[in-house]
Amino acid sequence: MKAGLSRERLVRAGAELADEAGFDQVTVSALARRFDVKVASLYSHLKNSRDLRTGIALLALEELADRAAEALAGRAGKEALTALADVYRDYAHEHPGRYAAAQLRLDPETAAASAGVRHARLARAVLRGYDLDEPDQTHAVRLLGSVFHGYVSLEMGGGFSHSAPDTRETWSRTLDALDALLRNWPDP
Amino acid sequence: MKAGLSRERLVRAGAELADEAGFDQVTVSALARRFDVKVASLYSHLKNSRDLRTGIALLALEELADRAAEALAGRAGKEALTALADVYRDYAHEHPGRYAAAQLRLDPETAAASAGVRHARLARAVLRGYDLDEPDQTHAVRLLGSVFHGYVSLEMGGGFSHSAPDTRETWSRTLDALDALLRNWPDP
DNA sequence: TACGTTTCCCTAAAGGTTTTAGGCAAATCA
DNA sequence: TGATTTGCCTAAAACCTTTAGGGAAACGTA
């Protein structure tokens, strides 16, 4: 009875498991259980358990970049800014486990070959709508990354006690503020 | 031969272990090894392994709040802003394991009793130097948290490839930008 | 000082995860 | 059809978590 395992299917199922049970619950054992297969069978398709987690991280980065690229098509300026921001926030809400996986620290070579570089390019694309030269553009790319990641991660971690005002309101005002800042980037 | 274990000492040693080997390497077994004691002995002082990690997280939050309170004493405006920001960044660089621990998701009661609330108050103290009323002040507190946490976490995770321009330069320009933004907070 | 109690760490054991080594049978190919 | 490859299995070792119960040292008290 062949179960039809493959690295592809395993990583995808791992991503689902992460979203359902949390990224830290993603284990080779749990995955084997899910396929109703013995644990050792997975080791023909995965190098080790870290390999599984890395695979999920890379998948999440790809999916995020795909969504971002689609969201940015035909948009510019503040519209592009909020579109990109919402991609990150929505993805984290829809796929908390995958989003957590995307935060996994990758070794430099893997990171360089990942969709991470597309993310940087997409952020730069948003900044084309604002008037920034190097090195300010790089500073701004990093600021965008920081705000998006920091906000989403604090929100998901319960860092903002679910009290008034609504976090969606804060999100919208944060994007207003970022837009204002980029249009009016201060001189050193 | 009594080893002189106590919850206090275990948590503190766990924090050191986290800084040296990474927060995910913090395990009851590793800790027992460090004290040259059998694993089961630790369970008189710790409820379970999560209890250990939670203890480290609470310790880190306390230490961070202490540093922040000291750094803010006698400062206001942009000086206070950069002082607070540097406390987070420096702490994360000095104590990466503890900083990772501080990101641990706590259950609501534990969080409410933690130093997390002091952090919120300290951020509000910084904002006294700027002219913001509610609910914008709350939005701004959340923005500060997002930027500080997001920046530090991306920087430490290698998210900013160590290429030009220097990340310290970006940090300084980011604080300039935040200051400018807070002085000139946009209307909705 | 001797006795009872508490404190502290230990042994023992069960259950879960990771990973490697080697085997067998079904699928594939010549 | 026979040979090879593929795919999942059994077995086993190593490590982490957690609970149950025991024994000796430290401590308080008479």
Say what the pLDDT of residue A82 is. 97
What average pLDDT is seen over chain A? 94
In sequence order, which residues have a C-beta less than 8 Å from that of residue B128 and are 6 or more positions away? Answer: B76
Nearest to B149 among A138, A153, A167 (CB): A153
Q: pLDDT confidence of B126, banded at 50, 70, 90?
A: very high
Q: Which of A64, A105, A57, A103 is nearest to A84 (CA)?
A: A64
Is residue B164 pLDDT above 80, yes or no? no
Inter-chain residue contact A169 with B139, CB threshold 8 Å: yes
Instruction: Among 2.40.37.10, 1.10.357.10, 1.10.10.10, 3.40.1800.10, name the CATH number for the domain at A57-183.
Output: 1.10.357.10
Say what the pLDDT of residue B160 is. 83
Nearest CA in chain A to B182: A177
Instruction: Among 3.90.700.10, 1.10.357.10, 3.40.50.740, 2.20.25.90, name the CATH number for the domain at B7-183.
Output: 1.10.357.10
Is residue B1 pLDDT above 70, yes or no? no
Please compute the mean of the pLDDT values over residues A128-142 and round it to a whole number. 93
Please compute the mean of the pLDDT values over residues B21-29 and round it to a whole number. 96
Q: Which of A100, A87, A107 is nearest to A17 (CA)?
A: A100
Provide, as residue numbers in chain A, all residues whose Cβ is less than 8 Å from the Cβ of B106: 158
* Min Cα separation B154/chain A (Å): 7
Q: For residues B33 and B69, is the Cβ–Cβ distance under 8 A?
A: no
Provide, as residue numbers in chain B, all residues whose Cβ is less than 8 Å from the Cβ of A103: 153, 157
Share of chain A above pLDDT 70, in %: 98
Q: Which two tokens stand for residue A166?
A: 């609504």
Please report where in the chains the tokens 């910084």 appear, as a residue.
Answer: B126
What average pLDDT is seen over chain B? 94
Say what the pLDDT of residue B111 is. 92
Q: How far apart are CA B135 and CA B140, in angstroms?
A: 9
Minimum mean pLDDT range among A1-10, A80-89, A119-128, B179-188: A1-10
When computed from its CA atoms, the radius of gyration of chain A, rounded to whole angstroms, is 19
Q: For residues B41-59, b (16+ Cβ closer than 10 Å) or e, as one string?
A: ebeebbeebebbbbbbbbb
Q: Which two tokens stand for residue A145?
A: 């990354």
Indicate if CB(B39) is under 7 A from strand D: yes
Provide, as residue numbers in chain B, all residues whose Cβ is less than 8 Å from the Cβ of A184: 180, 184
Is residue B26 pLDDT above 80, yes or no? yes
Please compute the mean of the pLDDT values over residues A22-51 and round it to a whole number. 96
Q: Which two tokens stand for residue B38?
A: 């059998």
Q: pLDDT confidence of B93, banded at 50, 70, 90?
A: very high
CA of B11 to C1' of C10 (A): 22
Inter-chain residue contact B180 with A181, CB threshold 8 Å: yes
Chain-centroid distance, C-alpha B34 = 25
In sequence order, which residues have a C-beta less than 8 Å from that of residue A185 and are 6 or more positions away? Answer: A130, A131, A132, A136, A140, B177
Say what the pLDDT of residue B130 is. 95
Indicate if CB(A44) is under 7 A from strand D: yes
Picking from A50, A147, A170, A176 by the largest number of B CB atoms within 10 A of its own CB, the best residue to mutate is A170
Say what the pLDDT of residue B2 is. 65
Residue type, A109: E
Q: Which secondary-structure segment (H or E) carries A90?
A: helix A77-94
CA of A4 to C1' of D1 (A): 27
Q: pLDDT confidence of A162, banded at 50, 70, 90?
A: low
Q: pLDDT confidence of A2, banded at 50, 70, 90?
A: low
Q: In this structure, what DSSP letter does residue A166 have?
A: P
CA of B51 to C1' of D25 (A): 28
Q: Based on the number of CB atoms within 10 Å of its own CB, is A61 exposed (0-12), middle (13-18) or buried (19 or more)?
A: buried
Is residue A11 pLDDT above 70, yes or no? yes
Higher per-residue confidence, A134 vs A21: A21
Name the closest nucleotide to B41, judged by C1' and CA: C9
Is residue A1 pLDDT above 60, yes or no? no
Q: pLDDT confidence of A95, banded at 50, 70, 90?
A: very high
